[in-house]
Amino acid sequence: MKSLKVRDSMSTNVITFAPNDSVVHAMATLLDKGISGAPVVDEDGSLLGILSEVDLIQVVVQDSYYDDPVGIVADFMQTQVECVDPDTDIFSLTQQFISHHRRRYPVLESGQLVGQISRRDVLRAALDFFQA
């Protein structure tokens, strides 16, 4: 497993949001695509944060409790994001998933978002490895 790298198993066709996207649009996208979160990037592809279902639950609370207008992605995204390098081995990544309880990690190369790797991607890589 240590010979398998993140770049070999990551998704490169990643759904992303811009910081000024409406949270209603983001909510609809996550539900439509069946994903639980997505990176937030600027126009150059630099990672600014990540937006997840948990972050969007705050929108419901804000609107219901405070009667505030719904905002933009930048108002709710998490800006402290743990990322991985595409050359990280899958075994090390598995240890990160276990110890940090994350669902996904953005993959950055030279400061640019090049993909995303999820727990499911790791399981697919393991299955392929074990069946080979």
**Could you give the C-alpha distances from 62 to 2, 68, 69, 100, 102, in angstroms and in order?**
45, 6, 8, 28, 25
**pLDDT value of position 104:** 92
What is the full per-residue pLDDT of the chain (132 aa) written as tens digits?
Answer: 568 899 999 999 999 999 999 999 999 999 999 998 999 999 998 999 999 999 999 887 766 656 666 789 999 999 999 999 999 999 899 999 999 988 899 999 998 999 999 999 999 988 988 887
* Full-model pTM: 0.86
- CATH, domain range 6-131: 3.10.580.10
Query: What residues does each domain of the chain span?
Result: 6-131
